[in-house]
Amino acid sequence: MAFGHRYTGLIDRYRDRLPVHDDTRIISLGEGNTPLIRLNNIPRELSRDVELYVKFEGLNPTGSFKDRGMTMAVTKAVEEGSKAIICASTGNTSAAAAAYAARAGITAFVVIPDGKIAMGKLAQAMMHGSVVIQIEGNFDDGMRLVKEVASAAPVTLVNSVNPFRLQGQKTAAFEIVEELGRAPDFHCLPVGNAGNITAHWIGYSELAAHSGDHVTAACTFCSGHCRYAGGGVAGQRPKMLGYQASGSAPFMRGAMVDNPDTVATAIRIGHPQSWDVAWKVREESGGWFDECTDDEILAAQKLLTEKEGIFCEPASAASVAGALRDIRAGKIPDGSSVVCTLTGHGLKDPDTAIAQASRTPIKVPAEIDAVTRAIHENMD
Ligand code: F0G
Protein backbone atom coordinates (compact mmCIF):
# COMPACT_ATOMS: atom_id res chain seq x y z
CA MET A 1 0.00 0.00 0.00
CA ALA A 2 1.32 3.44 -0.90
CA PHE A 3 2.24 5.86 1.90
CA GLY A 4 -0.54 8.25 2.80
CA HIS A 5 -3.35 5.88 1.85
CA ARG A 6 -5.89 5.76 4.66
CA TYR A 7 -8.57 3.07 4.73
CA THR A 8 -11.83 4.93 5.27
CA GLY A 9 -14.42 2.18 5.44
CA LEU A 10 -16.32 -0.09 3.11
CA ILE A 11 -18.59 2.51 1.51
CA ASP A 12 -15.59 4.45 0.22
CA ARG A 13 -13.94 1.19 -0.79
CA TYR A 14 -16.93 -0.19 -2.73
CA ARG A 15 -18.67 3.06 -3.62
CA ASP A 16 -19.36 1.91 -7.20
CA ARG A 17 -21.31 -1.12 -5.98
CA LEU A 18 -23.33 0.53 -3.23
CA PRO A 19 -26.37 2.80 -3.35
CA VAL A 20 -24.64 6.11 -2.47
CA HIS A 21 -24.16 9.35 -4.38
CA ASP A 22 -21.00 11.41 -4.78
CA ASP A 23 -22.26 13.96 -2.25
CA THR A 24 -23.67 11.47 0.27
CA ARG A 25 -22.34 12.16 3.77
CA ILE A 26 -20.77 8.83 4.76
CA ILE A 27 -21.17 7.73 8.38
CA SER A 28 -18.21 5.41 8.93
CA LEU A 29 -15.97 4.08 11.66
CA GLY A 30 -13.54 2.37 9.27
CA GLU A 31 -15.50 -0.90 9.21
CA GLY A 32 -14.71 -3.81 6.88
CA ASN A 33 -11.28 -4.91 5.64
CA THR A 34 -11.26 -7.70 8.24
CA PRO A 35 -8.64 -10.47 8.16
CA LEU A 36 -9.22 -13.78 6.42
CA ILE A 37 -7.16 -16.11 8.59
CA ARG A 38 -6.11 -19.55 7.38
CA LEU A 39 -6.43 -22.11 10.16
CA ASN A 40 -3.36 -24.29 10.64
CA ASN A 41 -3.65 -26.38 13.77
CA ILE A 42 -7.29 -27.45 13.65
CA PRO A 43 -7.16 -28.85 10.07
CA ARG A 44 -3.91 -30.72 10.88
CA GLU A 45 -5.70 -32.58 13.65
CA LEU A 46 -8.61 -33.36 11.34
CA SER A 47 -6.26 -35.10 8.88
CA ARG A 48 -8.41 -33.92 6.02
CA ASP A 49 -7.16 -31.99 3.04
CA VAL A 50 -9.24 -28.83 3.21
CA GLU A 51 -8.22 -25.18 3.03
CA LEU A 52 -10.03 -23.74 6.02
CA TYR A 53 -10.28 -19.99 6.60
CA VAL A 54 -12.09 -17.81 9.09
CA LYS A 55 -13.22 -14.30 8.21
CA PHE A 56 -12.84 -12.57 11.56
CA GLU A 57 -15.70 -10.08 11.58
CA GLY A 58 -15.22 -9.61 15.31
CA LEU A 59 -12.47 -7.17 14.34
CA ASN A 60 -14.94 -4.59 13.06
CA PRO A 61 -15.14 -1.32 15.07
CA THR A 62 -17.90 -2.45 17.42
CA GLY A 63 -16.78 -6.08 17.38
CA SER A 64 -19.24 -7.65 14.95
CA PHE A 65 -20.26 -7.87 11.29
CA LYS A 66 -23.21 -5.60 12.03
CA ASP A 67 -20.97 -2.57 11.39
CA ARG A 68 -20.92 -3.39 7.66
CA GLY A 69 -24.67 -3.07 7.51
CA MET A 70 -24.94 -0.22 9.97
CA THR A 71 -22.59 2.13 8.09
CA MET A 72 -24.94 1.82 5.09
CA ALA A 73 -28.21 1.95 7.05
CA VAL A 74 -27.20 5.01 9.10
CA THR A 75 -25.65 6.76 6.10
CA LYS A 76 -28.94 6.37 4.22
CA ALA A 77 -31.06 7.30 7.26
CA VAL A 78 -29.10 10.54 7.64
CA GLU A 79 -29.29 11.21 3.89
CA GLU A 80 -33.06 10.87 4.11
CA GLY A 81 -33.17 13.38 6.99
CA SER A 82 -33.89 10.93 9.79
CA LYS A 83 -33.07 12.11 13.32
CA ALA A 84 -33.52 8.75 15.02
CA ILE A 85 -33.06 5.04 14.38
CA ILE A 86 -34.56 2.02 16.10
CA CYS A 87 -33.81 -1.70 16.20
CA ALA A 88 -34.62 -4.85 18.10
CA SER A 89 -31.51 -6.80 18.97
CA THR A 90 -29.93 -9.78 20.61
CA GLY A 91 -27.04 -7.39 21.32
CA ASN A 92 -24.73 -6.78 18.40
CA THR A 93 -27.13 -4.79 16.25
CA SER A 94 -27.85 -2.55 19.25
CA ALA A 95 -24.12 -1.99 19.83
CA ALA A 96 -23.58 -1.06 16.19
CA ALA A 97 -26.71 1.10 15.98
CA ALA A 98 -25.69 2.95 19.14
CA ALA A 99 -22.15 3.60 17.87
CA TYR A 100 -23.10 4.74 14.37
CA ALA A 101 -25.91 6.93 15.73
CA ALA A 102 -23.38 8.56 18.06
CA ARG A 103 -21.06 9.11 15.11
CA ALA A 104 -23.91 10.65 13.08
CA GLY A 105 -25.24 12.76 15.95
CA ILE A 106 -28.69 11.17 15.94
CA THR A 107 -30.63 9.14 18.52
CA ALA A 108 -30.71 5.34 18.69
CA PHE A 109 -33.52 3.45 20.39
CA VAL A 110 -32.62 -0.18 21.02
CA VAL A 111 -35.05 -2.85 22.16
CA ILE A 112 -33.43 -5.85 23.79
CA PRO A 113 -34.61 -9.01 25.54
CA ASP A 114 -34.37 -8.60 29.30
CA GLY A 115 -31.44 -10.53 30.78
CA LYS A 116 -30.57 -12.37 27.56
CA ILE A 117 -27.90 -10.20 26.06
CA ALA A 118 -24.18 -10.55 26.62
CA MET A 119 -22.64 -8.02 28.99
CA GLY A 120 -20.20 -6.46 26.52
CA LYS A 121 -23.02 -5.65 24.11
CA LEU A 122 -25.15 -4.04 26.80
CA ALA A 123 -22.14 -1.98 27.91
CA GLN A 124 -21.67 -0.75 24.34
CA ALA A 125 -25.31 0.27 23.85
CA MET A 126 -25.28 2.11 27.17
CA MET A 127 -21.91 3.82 26.70
CA HIS A 128 -22.75 5.11 23.22
CA GLY A 129 -25.74 6.88 24.71
CA SER A 130 -28.56 4.99 23.06
CA VAL A 131 -31.96 4.70 24.70
CA VAL A 132 -32.03 1.07 25.87
CA ILE A 133 -35.49 -0.46 26.23
CA GLN A 134 -35.41 -3.88 27.89
CA ILE A 135 -38.57 -5.84 27.19
CA GLU A 136 -39.99 -8.74 29.12
CA GLY A 137 -39.90 -10.85 25.99
CA ASN A 138 -37.47 -12.24 23.43
CA PHE A 139 -35.93 -10.89 20.24
CA ASP A 140 -38.91 -11.95 18.14
CA ASP A 141 -41.26 -9.94 20.39
CA GLY A 142 -38.89 -6.99 20.05
CA MET A 143 -38.88 -7.27 16.27
CA ARG A 144 -42.67 -7.21 16.13
CA LEU A 145 -42.72 -4.11 18.34
CA VAL A 146 -40.06 -2.08 16.51
CA LYS A 147 -41.69 -2.74 13.14
CA GLU A 148 -44.92 -1.35 14.51
CA VAL A 149 -43.22 1.67 16.08
CA ALA A 150 -41.25 2.46 12.91
CA SER A 151 -44.38 2.36 10.78
CA ALA A 152 -45.96 5.12 12.88
CA ALA A 153 -43.14 7.21 14.39
CA PRO A 154 -40.42 9.26 12.63
CA VAL A 155 -37.67 6.73 13.30
CA THR A 156 -35.78 4.61 10.77
CA LEU A 157 -35.76 0.86 11.34
CA VAL A 158 -32.19 -0.45 11.04
CA ASN A 159 -32.72 -4.19 11.48
CA SER A 160 -31.75 -6.31 8.49
CA VAL A 161 -35.23 -5.86 6.99
CA ASN A 162 -33.80 -2.46 6.02
CA PRO A 163 -32.40 -3.32 2.56
CA PHE A 164 -29.38 -1.03 3.00
CA ARG A 165 -28.13 -3.29 5.79
CA LEU A 166 -27.66 -6.24 3.43
CA GLN A 167 -26.03 -3.98 0.85
CA GLY A 168 -23.32 -3.11 3.36
CA GLN A 169 -22.95 -6.69 4.54
CA LYS A 170 -22.50 -8.09 1.01
CA THR A 171 -19.05 -6.44 0.90
CA ALA A 172 -17.64 -9.24 3.08
CA ALA A 173 -18.04 -11.53 0.05
CA PHE A 174 -16.18 -9.01 -2.14
CA GLU A 175 -13.24 -8.98 0.29
CA ILE A 176 -13.06 -12.78 0.40
CA VAL A 177 -13.04 -13.14 -3.38
CA GLU A 178 -10.41 -10.42 -3.70
CA GLU A 179 -8.14 -12.20 -1.24
CA LEU A 180 -8.58 -15.75 -2.50
CA GLY A 181 -8.73 -14.76 -6.16
CA ARG A 182 -11.96 -16.77 -6.42
CA ALA A 183 -15.00 -17.62 -4.36
CA PRO A 184 -14.51 -20.45 -1.86
CA ASP A 185 -16.24 -23.79 -2.50
CA PHE A 186 -18.18 -23.55 0.78
CA HIS A 187 -19.13 -20.57 2.93
CA CYS A 188 -20.34 -21.36 6.46
CA LEU A 189 -22.27 -18.90 8.63
CA PRO A 190 -24.24 -18.92 11.87
CA VAL A 191 -27.88 -18.20 11.10
CA GLY A 192 -30.34 -16.19 13.18
CA ASN A 193 -32.53 -13.92 11.05
CA ALA A 194 -30.63 -15.19 8.00
CA GLY A 195 -29.83 -11.66 6.86
CA ASN A 196 -26.09 -12.21 6.72
CA ILE A 197 -26.20 -15.44 4.72
CA THR A 198 -28.48 -13.62 2.27
CA ALA A 199 -26.16 -10.62 2.11
CA HIS A 200 -23.16 -12.83 1.30
CA TRP A 201 -25.14 -14.53 -1.45
CA ILE A 202 -25.97 -11.12 -2.94
CA GLY A 203 -22.26 -10.27 -2.89
CA TYR A 204 -21.13 -13.49 -4.50
CA SER A 205 -23.94 -13.31 -7.04
CA GLU A 206 -23.05 -9.79 -8.10
CA LEU A 207 -19.46 -10.81 -8.70
CA ALA A 208 -20.44 -13.96 -10.57
CA ALA A 209 -22.98 -12.07 -12.67
CA HIS A 210 -20.36 -9.58 -13.66
CA SER A 211 -17.80 -12.20 -14.57
CA GLY A 212 -20.11 -13.47 -17.29
CA ASP A 213 -21.68 -16.57 -15.74
CA HIS A 214 -25.37 -16.91 -16.39
CA VAL A 215 -26.72 -15.73 -13.08
CA THR A 216 -30.12 -14.20 -12.58
CA ALA A 217 -30.05 -14.28 -8.80
CA ALA A 218 -28.49 -10.93 -8.05
CA CYS A 219 -31.53 -8.87 -8.80
CA THR A 220 -33.90 -11.20 -7.00
CA PHE A 221 -32.03 -10.45 -3.81
CA CYS A 222 -30.68 -6.95 -4.05
CA SER A 223 -33.99 -5.01 -4.03
CA GLY A 224 -32.78 -3.08 -7.06
CA HIS A 225 -29.77 -1.64 -5.25
CA CYS A 226 -27.03 -3.53 -6.98
CA ARG A 227 -24.78 -1.23 -8.96
CA TYR A 228 -21.83 -3.47 -9.49
CA ALA A 229 -19.56 -1.97 -12.13
CA GLY A 230 -16.09 -3.21 -11.22
CA GLY A 231 -14.02 -6.03 -12.67
CA GLY A 232 -15.48 -9.44 -11.88
CA VAL A 233 -13.20 -12.15 -10.63
CA ALA A 234 -15.49 -14.72 -9.09
CA GLY A 235 -17.21 -16.79 -11.77
CA GLN A 236 -18.37 -19.52 -9.48
CA ARG A 237 -20.34 -19.10 -6.27
CA PRO A 238 -19.95 -21.08 -3.04
CA LYS A 239 -22.38 -23.49 -1.52
CA MET A 240 -23.85 -21.58 1.42
CA LEU A 241 -24.03 -23.55 4.67
CA GLY A 242 -26.14 -22.08 7.48
CA TYR A 243 -25.78 -23.43 11.02
CA GLN A 244 -28.31 -22.82 13.76
CA ALA A 245 -28.23 -23.53 17.48
CA SER A 246 -30.37 -26.63 18.18
CA GLY A 247 -32.65 -24.78 20.60
CA SER A 248 -33.26 -22.01 18.05
CA ALA A 249 -33.37 -23.82 14.73
CA PRO A 250 -36.50 -22.89 12.76
CA PHE A 251 -34.77 -23.71 9.47
CA MET A 252 -34.23 -27.27 10.69
CA ARG A 253 -37.75 -27.62 12.03
CA GLY A 254 -39.20 -26.15 8.83
CA ALA A 255 -41.35 -23.84 10.95
CA MET A 256 -41.06 -20.90 13.31
CA VAL A 257 -39.98 -21.69 16.88
CA ASP A 258 -41.84 -19.88 19.64
CA ASN A 259 -39.53 -20.20 22.63
CA PRO A 260 -36.01 -20.29 21.24
CA ASP A 261 -33.15 -20.93 23.62
CA THR A 262 -29.38 -21.28 23.35
CA VAL A 263 -26.18 -20.24 25.09
CA ALA A 264 -25.38 -18.44 21.83
CA THR A 265 -27.71 -15.55 22.72
CA ALA A 266 -26.87 -13.65 19.51
CA ILE A 267 -28.78 -16.25 17.50
CA ARG A 268 -31.59 -16.89 19.98
CA ILE A 269 -34.16 -16.23 17.27
CA GLY A 270 -37.24 -18.32 16.48
CA HIS A 271 -38.88 -16.18 13.80
CA PRO A 272 -36.21 -15.30 11.21
CA GLN A 273 -36.88 -12.12 9.27
CA SER A 274 -35.30 -13.41 6.04
CA TRP A 275 -37.15 -16.74 6.04
CA ASP A 276 -38.19 -17.06 2.37
CA VAL A 277 -35.09 -15.56 0.90
CA ALA A 278 -32.80 -17.80 2.98
CA TRP A 279 -34.48 -20.91 1.60
CA LYS A 280 -33.81 -19.53 -1.85
CA VAL A 281 -30.15 -19.01 -0.99
CA ARG A 282 -29.87 -22.62 0.13
CA GLU A 283 -31.55 -23.88 -3.01
CA GLU A 284 -29.68 -21.72 -5.51
CA SER A 285 -26.31 -22.31 -3.92
CA GLY A 286 -26.77 -26.04 -3.47
CA GLY A 287 -25.94 -25.65 0.21
CA TRP A 288 -27.71 -26.76 3.37
CA PHE A 289 -28.83 -25.82 6.87
CA ASP A 290 -27.85 -27.81 9.91
CA GLU A 291 -27.90 -27.41 13.65
CA CYS A 292 -25.28 -27.54 16.41
CA THR A 293 -25.90 -28.22 20.07
CA ASP A 294 -24.79 -25.69 22.67
CA ASP A 295 -22.03 -28.11 23.70
CA GLU A 296 -20.74 -28.34 20.13
CA ILE A 297 -20.82 -24.55 19.81
CA LEU A 298 -18.89 -23.99 23.03
CA ALA A 299 -16.39 -26.72 22.13
CA ALA A 300 -15.70 -25.03 18.78
CA GLN A 301 -15.31 -21.65 20.47
CA LYS A 302 -12.77 -23.17 22.84
CA LEU A 303 -10.94 -24.99 20.07
CA LEU A 304 -10.48 -21.74 18.15
CA THR A 305 -9.21 -19.89 21.20
CA GLU A 306 -6.87 -22.65 22.41
CA LYS A 307 -5.58 -24.02 19.10
CA GLU A 308 -5.59 -20.98 16.83
CA GLY A 309 -5.52 -17.94 19.15
CA ILE A 310 -8.81 -16.62 17.79
CA PHE A 311 -11.46 -15.51 20.26
CA CYS A 312 -14.98 -15.30 18.83
CA GLU A 313 -18.31 -15.22 20.59
CA PRO A 314 -20.39 -18.43 20.93
CA ALA A 315 -22.81 -17.71 18.07
CA SER A 316 -19.89 -17.24 15.69
CA ALA A 317 -18.42 -20.59 16.63
CA ALA A 318 -21.53 -22.32 15.25
CA SER A 319 -20.07 -21.83 11.76
CA VAL A 320 -16.88 -23.67 12.71
CA ALA A 321 -18.68 -26.34 14.75
CA GLY A 322 -20.87 -27.16 11.76
CA ALA A 323 -18.05 -26.97 9.23
CA LEU A 324 -15.80 -29.30 11.24
CA ARG A 325 -18.58 -31.87 11.56
CA ASP A 326 -19.30 -31.72 7.82
CA ILE A 327 -15.59 -31.93 6.95
CA ARG A 328 -15.15 -34.99 9.18
CA ALA A 329 -18.23 -36.62 7.64
CA GLY A 330 -16.98 -35.92 4.11
CA LYS A 331 -20.03 -33.82 3.24
CA ILE A 332 -17.44 -31.12 2.62
CA PRO A 333 -15.03 -33.15 0.48
CA ASP A 334 -11.24 -33.19 0.48
CA GLY A 335 -9.74 -30.55 -1.77
CA SER A 336 -12.36 -27.95 -0.83
CA SER A 337 -11.76 -24.37 0.20
CA VAL A 338 -13.98 -23.36 3.09
CA VAL A 339 -14.61 -19.97 4.68
CA CYS A 340 -16.33 -19.69 8.06
CA THR A 341 -17.54 -16.28 9.15
CA LEU A 342 -16.74 -15.46 12.75
CA THR A 343 -19.48 -12.91 13.21
CA GLY A 344 -18.57 -11.41 16.59
CA HIS A 345 -15.68 -11.02 19.05
CA GLY A 346 -15.31 -13.20 22.13
CA LEU A 347 -14.93 -10.15 24.35
CA LYS A 348 -18.62 -9.45 23.79
CA ASP A 349 -19.56 -12.25 26.17
CA PRO A 350 -16.99 -12.57 28.96
CA ASP A 351 -19.39 -14.39 31.29
CA THR A 352 -19.85 -17.38 28.99
CA ALA A 353 -16.13 -17.44 28.26
CA ILE A 354 -15.02 -17.44 31.89
CA ALA A 355 -17.61 -20.09 32.78
CA GLN A 356 -16.12 -22.56 30.35
CA ALA A 357 -12.39 -21.73 30.26
CA SER A 358 -10.10 -24.76 30.69
CA ARG A 359 -7.98 -23.16 33.35
CA THR A 360 -9.09 -20.97 36.19
CA PRO A 361 -6.60 -18.47 37.63
CA ILE A 362 -4.25 -19.94 40.24
CA LYS A 363 -4.29 -17.88 43.42
CA VAL A 364 -0.97 -17.78 45.30
CA PRO A 365 0.78 -15.47 47.79
CA ALA A 366 2.87 -12.67 46.22
CA GLU A 367 6.12 -14.60 46.88
CA ILE A 368 8.69 -15.95 44.44
CA ASP A 369 8.50 -19.52 45.78
CA ALA A 370 4.75 -19.72 45.33
CA VAL A 371 4.85 -18.26 41.80
CA THR A 372 7.75 -20.58 40.82
CA ARG A 373 5.89 -23.60 42.17
CA ALA A 374 2.75 -22.65 40.22
CA ILE A 375 4.82 -22.42 37.03
CA HIS A 376 6.51 -25.79 37.56
CA GLU A 377 3.27 -27.53 38.41
CA ASN A 378 1.63 -26.24 35.22
CA MET A 379 4.44 -26.63 32.71
CA ASP A 380 3.01 -28.57 29.73
N1 F0G B 1 -23.71 -14.02 14.79
C2 F0G B 1 -23.80 -12.97 15.61
C3 F0G B 1 -22.66 -12.70 16.52
C4 F0G B 1 -24.96 -12.17 15.62
O5 F0G B 1 -25.04 -11.14 16.44
C6 F0G B 1 -26.03 -12.51 14.75
C7 F0G B 1 -27.26 -11.72 14.75
C8 F0G B 1 -25.86 -13.60 13.89
C9 F0G B 1 -24.69 -14.34 13.94
C10 F0G B 1 -26.92 -14.02 12.94
O11 F0G B 1 -26.98 -13.20 11.82
O12 F0G B 1 -29.38 -12.69 11.94
O13 F0G B 1 -28.06 -12.16 9.90
O14 F0G B 1 -28.59 -14.52 10.51
N15 F0G B 1 -27.51 -10.82 15.59
C16 F0G B 1 -28.66 -9.92 15.56
C17 F0G B 1 -28.52 -8.84 16.61
C18 F0G B 1 -29.98 -10.58 15.55
O19 F0G B 1 -29.53 -8.29 17.06
O20 F0G B 1 -27.41 -8.49 16.96
P21 F0G B 1 -28.33 -13.14 10.98
pLDDT higher than threshold 50 for residue 75:
yes
Q: Is the pLDDT of residue 79 over 80?
A: yes
Mutate to test the pocket of ligand 1, among 55, 56, 92, 282 (most ligand atoms within 8 A of CB): 92
State yes or no: pLDDT of 220 exceeds 90.
no
Atom of ligand 1 nearest to the CA of 195: 13
Place 2 in a pLDDT band, splitting at 50, 70 and 90.
low
What pLDDT is recorded for position 326? 98
Distance 312 CA to ligand 1 centre (A): 13
Mutate to test the pocket of ligand 1, among 343, 347, 348 (most ligand atoms within 8 A of CB): 343
DSSP 8-class letter at 267: G
Mean pLDDT for the stretch of residues 337-358: 97
pLDDT value at 284 more than 80: yes
d(CA 275, CA 108): 26
pLDDT at res. 5 = 87
- Ligand 1 nearest atom to the CA of residue 89, by list position: 19
- Is the pLDDT score of 130 beyond 90? yes
Q: Average pLDDT of 246-251? A: 98
Confidence of residue 3 (pLDDT cuts 50, 70, 90): confident
Estimate to the nearest angstrom the gap between the alpha carbon of 311 and the chain centroid.
14
Query: How far apart are the CA of 234 and the centre of ligand 1, in A?
Result: 26
Burial level of 136, CB count in 10 A (0-12/13-18/19+)?
exposed
| Residues 192 and 250: beta-carbon distance below 8 Å | no
Query: To test ligand 1's pocket by mutation, which of 196, 240, 291 has the most ligand atoms within 8 angstroms of CB?
Result: 196
Transcribe 68-109 into DSSP letters. Answer: HHHHHHHHHHHHTT-SEEEEE-SSHHHHHHHHHHHHHT-EEE
Query: Alpha-carbon distance 16 to 33, whole Å?
Result: 17
Whole-number Å distance, alpha carbon 211 to ligand 1 midpoint, is 30
Quick one: which of 312, 266, 347 has its CA closest to 93? 266
**Does the Cβ of 337 fall within 6 Å of ligand 1?**
no
pLDDT score recorded for residue 380: 77
**Kind and range of the H or E element at 54?**
strand 51-56
Q: Please, what is the average pLDDT of the chain?
A: 93
Confidence of residue 1 (pLDDT cuts 50, 70, 90): low
The protein residue whose alpha carbon is closest to atom 15 in ligand 1 is: 266
Residues 226-246: tens digit of each pLDDT? 444 344 444 799 999 999 999
Whether residue 316 has its Cβ less than 6 Å from ligand 1? yes
Look at residue 219 and tell me whether its pLDDT is greater than 90: no
What is the 3 CA–ligand 1 centroid distance (Å)?
A: 36
Q: Separation of 212 CA from ligand 1 center, angstroms?
A: 32
Residue 231 has what pLDDT?
42
Among 54, 60, 70, 90, say which to mutate for ligand 1: greatest number of ligand atoms within 8 Å of CB. Answer: 90
Q: Which atom of ligand 1 is nearest to the CA of 190?
A: 9
Q: Name the band, by pLDDT with cuts 50, 70 and 90, for residue 214.
A: very low
Per-residue pLDDT band for 211 (boundaries 50, 70, 90) equals: low
Beta bridge partners of 288: 241
